[in-house]
Chains A and B, each alone.
Chain A
Amino acid sequence: GDSVTQMEGPVTLSEEAFLTINCTYTATGYPSLFWYVQYPGEGLQLLLKATKADDKGSNKGFEATYRKETTSFHLEKGSVQVSDSAVYFCALSNAGGTSYGKLTFGQGTILTVHP
């Protein structure tokens, strides 16, 4: 079945550092890929998405490129802020087989940014 693997966490950075959170996936067909974020005390919200190979999703300075050849969707940000401290989830959605648009999530990566 479909699966998503995120880099082992947590990640601790200083403000203005460069961020990469790795995400790889296994899926049949042509899934859509997502990054969701969960800020402290809040619900899950979409950060960015890409729906086909080579698409780049971007939002709030974060970027991720859908790489079908390496089955990856790594999240990057050039300069993190304290307010970026949150849990980040990589996920995929597949319309093929027994999937009907449900999200399959990775285990999440805790990001802590220090001033």
Chain B
Amino acid sequence: EAGVAQSPRYKIIEKRQSVAFWCNPISGHATLYWYQQILGQGPKLLIQFQNNGVVDDSQLPKDRFSAERLKGVDSTLKIQPAKLEDSAVYLCASSQQGGAQETQYFGPGTRLLVL
């Protein structure tokens, strides 16, 4: 079974530029998550999708971050404009139905450096 795919793996941009990350979850998984992991901290949820609808985006800085999951499969996360404090690893995860007892499967992450 293929795992969660993410691209790119690394990205370096200057502040105020825009950037986009892509995620392809495990086939058949209805729930998709984007987490932000700042160096030395645990991951923090940015947004959660159930199929192609948003379930939780309470921690997403909506003035600069946006995400979509068209057709309930792939997802993109965009930052525009980027700030220095956005430097982090962006993790995508998926689970079958999003239940609290379910295992979430993580992709390798995209490491973003904002200069």
Contact = CB atoms under 8 A, between A and B. Distances in A.
A81 interface: no
B109 to A, nearest CB: 6
Interface string B33-52: 10100001111110010100
Given A45-B106, A100-B48, A108 B33 contact: no
B91 A43 contact: yes
Interface residues of A, number: 28
A94 B108 contact: no
Contacts of B104: 46, 103
A111 interface: no
Contacts of A106: 42
B49 to A, nearest CB: 10
* Interface class of chain B by DSSP: loop
B52 to A, nearest CB: 15
Interface string A67-103: 0000000000000000000000101011100111111
Interface in B32-83: 33, 35, 40-45, 48, 50, 55-56, 58
B91 A32 contact: no
A61 B41 CA distance: 26
A42 B35 CA distance: 16
B17 interface: no
Nearest to B40: A107
Interface of A: 4, 31-32, 34, 36, 42-46, 49, 51, 89, 91, 93-95, 98-108
